[in-house]
Amino acid sequence: MRVTSRVEVDPDTAFRVFTEEVDDWWRHGPRFRWHPERGGTLRFEAGEGGRFLEVYPGGESFEVGRIRVWDPPRRLVFGFRARSFAPGESTEVEVRFEPRGEATDVTIEHRGFAALRADHPVRHGMDANAFGN
């Protein structure tokens, strides 16, 4: 799955907003959070090997995935686990930031669905709503 959106900022700003303000732009609600009842916030730990986390009051967290590529302001690649994934299942998300004059094209590619169990709804043509419970 791939989508591109143009934002009216330079790549440095786009990368920073994507990674440092993830909880502000990521959708809220039970379909888009891992443990919504716990009131967590999303954040990236900068750098390769860092984690993409949902952090809860009190300091506990859920690891959504690990950062595989951290190349500001050009590229970010991280592992991704949805709520509906079985233990050990994950996919991969690549985000590219390409300058377009005064703007930036942000392309998000979510791949690796073949690694999910055969009965997962997303393997059978279901849309992104299949990721929620």
pLDDT (tens place) for every residue of the chain, 133 residues total = 899 999 999 999 999 999 999 999 998 888 788 888 888 999 999 999 999 999 999 999 999 999 999 999 999 999 999 887 888 888 999 999 999 999 999 999 999 887 777 776 665 565 544 444 3
**Residue whose structure tokens are 């991704």:** 80
Rounded-to-integer distance, Cα 125 and Cα 130, Å: 10
Domain ranges of the chain: 2-131
Rounded-to-integer distance, Cα 58 and Cα 74, Å: 34
Give this prediction's pTM: 0.86
Q: What does each C-alpha distance from 40 to 33, 54, 55, 107 come to in angstroms?
A: 8, 6, 5, 26
Q: What is the CATH number of domain 2-131?
A: 3.30.530.20
DSSP E strand stretches across 8-128? 41-44, 51-55, 61-71, 75-80, 91-100, 103-111
